[in-house]
Amino acid sequence: MLKSPSGFITAIIIQLVLIGALYGQDEPVEVKKSKDKIILEGKPYYIHIVKKGQTLFAISRVYFVSQKEISKENPTVKFGLQPGQALKIPVVENNEIEEFKPEEPGKYIYHVIEENQTIYSLSVDYGVEAEEILKHNPELDINDIPIGTGIKIPKQRFQTNVENFDHDEDHFTYYRVGKKETLYSISRKFMVPVREIRRSNDGLKGGPKYGQYLRIPVEKKKIDIFSISYAQNMNNIEEPVDSLDMEFDLPGDFKISGTIDVALMLPFYLDENDERIVIDSSEIDEFGNRIFKSIEREETWMYPKSLNFLEFYEGAFIAIDSLQKAGLSINLFVFDTENDSVTVQELLEEGKLRKMDLIIGPVYSFNMRMVADYAKSYRIPVVSPLSSRSELLEDNPYLFQIRPSLSTEFDKITNYISRFYDKNIVMIHPGDSLETEHINELKRNLFSYFFYRTFFNEVVFKEVVYNNQITKNDAINSIEHALSSDIDNIVLVASGNEAFVSNVVSNLNTLAPDYKIKLFGYHNWQRFRSIELEHFCNLDLHLYTPFLLDYENDDVKNFIMKFRKQFHTEPNQFSFAWQGYDIMFYFLSGFGRYGRRFRNNVSRYKIDLLHANYNFQRNYRSDGFENKEMFFIRYDKKFEIIRSDTENENFDE
């Protein structure tokens, strides 16, 4: 066994880089597997010296390690391989696979298996039945396909024409259901919500059947902007028939049963709400001394920090009520965590959570870490409802994170922007040291995606540092200097600070009549109140958001009606009630269907929610699950928010 102190290994790698730089220029292009191994932090690696003409794809095939994994271990490869460059390549254990050599290239597409890929995921990606793939790869064990395995995907010789229907519906297309296709896979294929497909096909009781033709809505969904239409939408909702006893729809083949013990841990601040007497010292007597008076608070007064979490509980309550009527027995245990780690620690020491089937909360990261570590030791799934800090997921396969991390949002933004590599791309940021890590991550991601789309020398990328040290005139001039009047401008304002964003957007709006601009920002911009909505629309703002409400949706209308009846008030667009409902409904119904096996079936469990879609993924089998699903929306010049199809949208749309 090799033992390698980190300093010693670093020296070895430097020597290998120098040797490779001296001798790598004239070597042949063929990639040969290195025999040199080292141990870094207990993990074995090959050290491969890149030779002129070698590609990342060719290297990945020789070592049976995905390009993604090599890039992760060697971040600089995203900027191109250089002769003499030393790469750390993880050693794939127990790999006895023969070298993959493509045959009959006209007959097959050749695919190298990467992490988390399966025969069934390939069948969806290539539009070929799983049975057909297995037929042409008889040596495969479907339950054990090592990473790096070469797969032959048979090319389709013909395409079945869709049967024509006589109809007057311009907003639908017709689709024939293939073998083993599900409602969810079809919805993903057409980028249409599951609920919309159901409602266009009489509910689809029992799910889609092989050979069945479905009506697929194809018109883009437009959603009224909240600040313009919210009051009207809320006040004009007509009460549906039998709304007092209404149920939320479940799929026709959906069955839930059993008993679930669930803990809800939220900071209700009950002690603060018990303080009904307040000391008022606002008045002064004739000698200038303050007058202290005891004033009893109004009966309806509530500690301000409690309101959000009370609404979360109210939304969860409605979900529980609906699921109980569907046949699920639920025992709910509610704990007030306040904002106090001592309170949480006492709950853990008393063993009150030990026999729970599911724990939702707490919301603060320092409390969440304690609970997650405790629950992991008893194999209890825990849901983190509000935190977006993905580091808590490391080495805890029982933790679920609802909010996508900033890294996930950055990845989606840069991936989309990279499609416009032939435009003028401008990044504007404040140059704040606190934002440096985020700015660097965005740039790394962006150029990583450019690497797979084009040559770097063909990319026009400009960076504008916009801070308080420049005058107002210099600020707008610095932005205008970066814009192009000859080609279209993709502008990413890399900040979540409202004051900064407001200033930049105001200047961009001034320049908008003279330049063609598509603006990109962060999801929290939706909550900014100091920015004119007209500016967002003029600048064609695009952003990814984890939550999106459609007040025309029947489920949303029904929820508002039930909330109004139960609590004599209504949740606003940003109320935690929506999250409380979605989280409780999703996880409890999932447990009702799969029981303790739910964690192993989460990737296939899809159900309609009110304002979110969940797509849980994890980096490694030992890690927790992060929801990576986000809606892509744009503000258009008609003052509408449109949920966009990121695959089909063009700059001019």
8-state DSSP, 458: G
Those residues whose C-beta lies under 8 Å from the C-beta of residue 241, and which sit 6 or more positions away, are none
The answer to whether residues 527 and 568 belong to one domain is no
Position with higher pLDDT, 649 vs 20: 649
451 and 541 assigned to the same domain = yes
Burial (CB count within 10 angstroms: exposed 0-12, middle 13-18, buried 19+), residue 392:
buried
Cβ atoms of 221 and 643 closer than 8 Å: yes
Residues 344 and 429 in one domain: no
490 contacts 540 by C-beta, under 8 angstroms: no
- One domain for residues 118 and 64: no
CA within 13 Å, CB half, 115: 14
Q: Work out the end-to-end distance of the chain between its first and last CA atoms, rounded to an integer number of angstroms.
A: 60
pLDDT of residue 396: 96
Question: What is residue 222's predicted lDDT score, i.e. its pLDDT?
Answer: 42
Give the DSSP H or E segment for 400: strand 399-401
Which tokens go with 15? 């020597």
Asked, for residue 266, whether it belongs to a domain, the answer is yes
**439, 345: one domain:** no
pLDDT (average), residues 432-450: 89
Final residue belonging to a domain, choices 491, 522, 545: 545
Q: Which residues contact 44 (CB under 8 A, 6 or more apart)?
A: 2, 37, 38, 90, 91
473 band by pLDDT with thresholds 50, 70 and 90: low
- Tell me the backbone φ, ψ of residue 294, rounded to 5 degrees: -90, 125
Site of tokens 């009489």: 202
Tell me: do 433 and 483 sit in the same domain.
yes
Nearest-angstrom CA–CA distance, 560 and 465 = 45
177, 71: one domain: no
Please check whether residues 187 and 131 belong to one and the same domain: no
pLDDT tens sequence across 156-169:
543 333 333 333 44
Q: Is pLDDT at 361 greater than 90 in this prediction? A: yes
Distance CA 206, CA 464 (A): 55
Let me know if residue 241 belongs to a domain: no
CATH number for the domain that contains residue 81:
3.10.350.10
Q: Is 85 in the same domain as 10? A: yes
Give the list of residues 6+ apart from residue 453 with CB closer than 8 angstroms, or none.
418, 419, 421
Determine which of 54-58, 76-80, 84-88, 414-418 has the lowest per-residue pLDDT on average: 76-80
Residue ranges of alpha helices (H) inside 327-471 are 341-349, 365-377, 406-417, 436-453
pLDDT of residue 26: 40
User: Among residues of the chain, what percentage have pLDDT more than 90?
Assistant: 41
Residue 1 lies in a domain: no
- As for how many domains the chain has, the answer is 5
Pairing of strands 222-224, 213-217: unpaired
- Higher pLDDT: 104 or 613? It is 613
pLDDT of residue 205: 64
323 with 398, same domain?
Answer: yes
Between strands 358-360 and 259-266, the pairing is parallel
CATH classification at residue 396 = 3.40.50.2300
Whether 441 and 511 share a structural domain: yes
Residue 518 DSSP one-character state = E
Within a 10 A sphere around the Cβ of 233, how many other Cβ atoms? 19
Q: How far is 66 from 539, CA to CA, in rounded Å?
A: 40
Domain extent for 68: 6-90
Q: What is the predicted pLDDT for the residue at 10? A: 32
**What CA dihedral angle connects 139, 142, 144 and 150, to 10 degrees?**
50
Bridging pattern class, strands 329-336 and 358-360: unpaired
Q: Which two tokens stand for residue 351?
A: 């063993």
Structure tokens given for 586: 């999703």
Under 8 Å between Cβ of 607 and 622: no
Question: How many other C-beta atoms can be found within 10 angstroms of the C-beta atom of residue 403?
Answer: 22
Radius of gyration for the chain, computed over Cα atoms and rounded to the nearest angstrom: 28
Residue (of 88, 36, 27, 21) closest to 54 by Cα position: 27
State the Cα–Cα distance between residues 94 and 82, nearest whole angstrom: 30
Kindly report whether the peptide bond that precedes residue 362 is cis, defined as omega within 30 degrees of 0. Answer: yes
Q: Side chain identity at 180, as an amino acid letter?
A: K
- What does the mean pLDDT of the chain come to? 79
Question: CA-to-CA distance for 492 and 420, rounded, in angstroms?
Answer: 12
- Of 1-15, 313-327, 388-402, the poorest mean pLDDT is in 1-15
pLDDT tens-digit profile of 537-585?
999 999 999 999 998 899 999 999 999 999 989 999 999 999 999 999 9
- How large is the average pLDDT for residues 244-265? 65
463 shares its domain with 569: no
Examine the fold and report which residue of 545, 564, 597 is the final residue of a domain before the chain moves on: 545
